[in-house]
Chains A and B, each alone.
Chain A
């Protein structure tokens, strides 16, 4: 009896040891041995630098296995156990394509961009804000997330977008922003009233061919990549890579971009300065305002 018990314990114990050993070996090799075909990385791709913090991938790996693996998966490809129940799907880190970036479309985000994404979470998705983790822990996670794609060893992040000082919030600015909303055809997806119900809205898919919704301004919810006017400016200028939202950096000048920001704020059911100005204007000139949409002349008010 005792012998049998001992045997069972021994067998179970050694099985557990083997499992733990194999898992850690596998993860270890993933972090420490870069693909020999990739050459020598110019920067240490197993580190992250956020302000004065240096994150380490080896430490981030432990946190990843504790907090992230359920959705983002053991292979970092967004196919964790929970992924099948989740929409939008968890990010596939092996592609190194990220929505919230300060860098131009098609380039890698900065460490700060990834850190901010982990800190902020993604509203309207299953990705929570990871404020319960210490800044050092979040920096470690950034370093680890970057080990999933060889791009991080070969490429540098893009040059972050320069955002000039915000122009004054005036009714002229809002009206010009409204023209841009018509001319740039934001309404084709986001809808004439910004309700996310434009003519193309139902057909949108992300780069993995999963259906995706455009942002509904009337929901009043936070934006995917922040809450401030600066965040809004950055979202449409850099675009949300991997999604249908393109970059407008090449076609919108900085002062025009601020006009668009000011108009977009009027579409939200929030008590903002922009919304106030717009309500006053609408009360006085309501009859003159041409609706946005297919019938409006591009560029007309």
Chain B
């Protein structure tokens, strides 16, 4: 009886692990890294006036700046999503949820990439109500109130899309959900650098997306466990 139970358990565990292995292709050891920069004069980011929401204003010693063209030293461009747009193997979404915070009347992070069907949890860490309004066009558009102390909103998106997110109560709040058809993506940091790891050998199209300056692509071929460099330069305008 006991042996039988043990056997069944072993089979179940084996099956379970087997399914996990088959669901996602084996992770490769190739990687792509690079730097996102701009040429031209970027628009000046403006300080945000949060005086209408004192509970948020007092959380920031210096005013928060708008982030639609976030630049760093050496012409670096931050908040650019770099992802494999073609050539990647299909993979199911990771079980790990991505987290989006409303804190100090800001969206953290400003740009949140995720995979199709990946769990998305939205938190309100503020002492004020927010309404979270992702302006989806391909996916369905919804708009929910989230008063202080509410449980996180648990959701997911089933189609690839760049979705602007806004709060109608605090009109300066602005961010993006980037729903991708790949598990290989990265967001450029303040120094413009990024790195995508775990790529199996293959021919890929790598795309960089910036919320104001659209997308650009280049082809990258990975063989073995090498690290390829792929830089992107966005032309920016001061207005």
Contact = CB atoms under 8 A, between A and B. Distances in A.
Interface of A: 95, 97, 104-107, 151, 155, 183-185, 188-189, 199-200, 203-204, 207, 239, 241-248, 250-251, 294, 298
B128 A105 contact: no
B182 to A, nearest CB: 21
A243 B141 CA distance: 10
B168 A95 contact: no
A95 B141 CA distance: 9
Given A189-B168, A203-B171, A247 B147 contact: no
B contact patch SS: loop
27 contacts: A105-B142, A105-B144, A107-B140, A184-B129, A184-B145, A185-B129, A185-B147, A188-B129, A200-B169, A200-B170, A239-B145, A241-B143, A244-B131, A244-B133, A245-B143, A246-B131, A246-B143, A246-B145, A246-B168, A247-B143, A250-B144, A251-B145, A251-B146, A251-B147, A294-B54, A298-B127, A298-B148
B4 interface: no
Given A97-B140, A107-B140, A250-B150, 18 more contacts: A95-B137, A95-B141, A104-B142, A105-B144, A183-B129, A184-B129, A184-B147, A185-B129, A185-B169, A189-B169, A204-B168, A207-B141, A239-B145, A241-B142, A243-B143, A244-B133, A246-B131, A246-B132
Contacts of A95: 137, 141
A246 B171 contact: no
B135 interface: yes
Leading 9 A-B pairs by shortest Cβ distance? A106-B142, A244-B168, A246-B131, A203-B171, A185-B129, A105-B142, A246-B145, A246-B143, A106-B140
B52 interface: yes
Nearest to A245: B143
B54 A239 contact: no
Interface in B141-189: 141-148, 150, 153, 168-171
